[in-house]
Structure 1
Amino acid sequence: MTGYIPHHGSRATTPARLPGGAPSAVPAPPGRVRRDWAALAAPTVSPARFAPHMTDGLPAPVTRWLAHAIAPGAPLLETVELVTHGEIRMGTWRRFRARQILAPPRGLVWAARSHLAGLPVSGYDRYSGGTGEMRWRLLRAVPVMSGSGPDVTRSAAGRVACEFPLVPATARGTAVRWEPADDDRQAVAHVRVGREEFAVTVRVSPSGHLESASLLRWGDPDGRGYGKHPFGAVFEGEARFGDFTLPRTVRAGWWFGGDRWPEGEFIRFTVDEAAYR
């Protein structure tokens, strides 16, 4: 949504309370993307178990991060379902709840609910089956934003690439190729999503905490036509979810690292739940 191309089944959702606000249900994906959700949510087949030697040959920041983020002996699960809450900028900052399935590099579906002019707006962004799409409706009936086609697909693929660190096991998968950077706190992951390879710069603290991920992403953040623009996410805090340690909060947007970052940042969220499979 709002240029983010930001995320089962049909089970009922449980009301959750946003800080300082009224209850808001965690959304389930709309029926038209449940098949995509189910395909992405398939469990990892015969996952290997994490051992220190698996990071041999990787840049030092990546070794620090994976040793910190993955418990010894943990199955290397490559899909996660996330439940999040936060704020998204739609003119002004508005609270939202979201549920997401993320399986890099295959894709993602992000289903969210917010409010616009006091009325509920809900919908989804997805990259699945090699294509991207976004579809948002007011009161579940009135279209407010939709998009598909090559530009949306390319932008959505970039989002999948930028979010791969939320599934640490994929960092050593066949779709990711690493190279060191000049800064000893950074490394560059070449992530192949669909037909395109993305150079994602990952920054890691000396203690192994994930700090940021950034890339040049296809998009139209200022309404002047599609092109490549700096895009990135800042990771803050941490939480343990089973065998994996994830950033607790994420801030993301366009023009990452530049003077226009305050203008380009458009989403801030907290990870409430993360279930790996």
Structure 2
Amino acid sequence: MSAAAMSASALERHLAQPAGSAVFGPAELDGLPDPVRRYLRTAIGPGTPLATAAALRMRGTIKLGRWLPFRATELLAPQRGFRWSARVAGVVSGSDSYAAGQGRMDWRLLGVLPVMRADGPDVARSAAGRAAGEACWVPTALLPRFGTRWSAVDERHIRARTTIDGTSCDVDYTLDEQARPTRIVLDRWGDPDGTGAWGWHPFGFEVTAHATFGGLTVPAAGRAGWFVGTDRRERGEFFRVTLTALRPVT
């Protein structure tokens, strides 16, 4: 069943599959490059259940012509999809979702008047990239046992390669001295200029704070947008966020 065909409750049941009995230990890191091992040891506390999904709460501002405040919840399962539900400026509400290879955007003014509705292959491919980029919020889901293939460029730069419903994603992490991510970048399918011409563009999250929730140390604040690493970065930025809660699904 596609994300578009699922009810909100059915989609959340699909995403919120509980973790098994396994917990994080040194054997999970066998064979990984040293910088990747340092990152995962920093991100996941010993004995943490190996959750593949998490429930998040966040607040921030989003650029819709101008910067507007939002509050949102998200159920995120990087290998299966996500449902991000938000209220913007108190008057626009809706959700972005992805599951079973299908993506959907559904936003309304005052809960009634359609503001944006979109689906189809382009939306789905872009949403798969979003799920891969947001996997930093569920680092247990990035362990090799769940299909992530890791490599290291040097001590501060590592790469996670995942495949989500046939869409391959390479996500590059820049680490600080404590092996925490400071920048997360990938080539993501999108139409950031709104021209109708979709293609691959650099997309990234620049991290400004970290926090620990339920044994997971994750990026807790930052800004995201298109054209990261280019002279169009400021124009492409559209999302500034602070996590207020994160609960691994166990």
SS at match of 2:91: strand
Q: Return the match for 2:82 from 76, 89, 108.
A: 108
Following the alignment from structure 2 to structure 1, what is the Cα–Cα distance between the partners of residues 62 and 125?
22
User: Match of 1:19?
Assistant: none
Q: Is the 8 A contact 1:123 1:136 kept in 2?
A: yes
Offset at 1:239? 1.3
Q: Return the match for 1:235 from 177, 201, 207.
A: 207
TM-score by length of 1: 0.84
SS at match of 2:13: helix
Following the alignment from structure 2 to structure 1, what is the Cα–Cα distance between the partners of residues 116 and 82?
19
Deviations 1:166-218 (A, max 9, x none): 1011121332111222x321111111111111111112122121212111100
Query: Unpaired runs of 5+ in structure 1?
Result: 1-30
User: Match of 1:37?
Assistant: 12
Following the alignment from structure 2 to structure 1, what is the Cα–Cα distance between the partners of residues 112 and 81?
26
Match status 1:83 vs 2:57: yes
Match status 1:121 vs 2:92: yes
Q: Is the 8 A contact 1:100 1:110 kept in 2?
A: yes
Bigger drift between 141-150 and 230-239 goes to: 230-239
SS at match of 2:133: helix
Query: Unpaired runs of 5+ in structure 2?
Result: 1-5
2:13 counterpart letter in structure 1: A
Following the alignment from structure 2 to structure 1, what is the Cα–Cα distance between the partners of residues 54 and 238?
23
Following the alignment from structure 1 to structure 2, what is the Cα–Cα distance between the partners of residues 259 and 216?
16
Q: Return the match for 2:234 from 249, 252, 262.
A: 262
User: Match of 1:197?
Assistant: 168
Offset at 1:264? 0.5
User: Match of 2:38?
Assistant: 64
Number of residue-to-residue matches in the alignment: 242
Following the alignment from structure 1 to structure 2, what is the Cα–Cα distance between the partners of residues 153 and 207?
35
Q: Is the 8 A contact 1:64 1:206 kept in 2?
A: no
Offset at 1:236? 2.0
Aligned Cα RMSD in Å?
1.4
SS at match of 2:146: coil
Offset at 1:59? 2.4
TM-score by length of 2: 0.93
Identity of counterpart residues, as a percentage?
42
Following the alignment from structure 1 to structure 2, what is the Cα–Cα distance between the partners of residues 219 and 263?
15
Following the alignment from structure 2 to structure 1, what is the Cα–Cα distance between the partners of residues 220 and 146?
27
Match status 1:188 vs 2:159: yes
User: Match of 1:251?
Assistant: 223
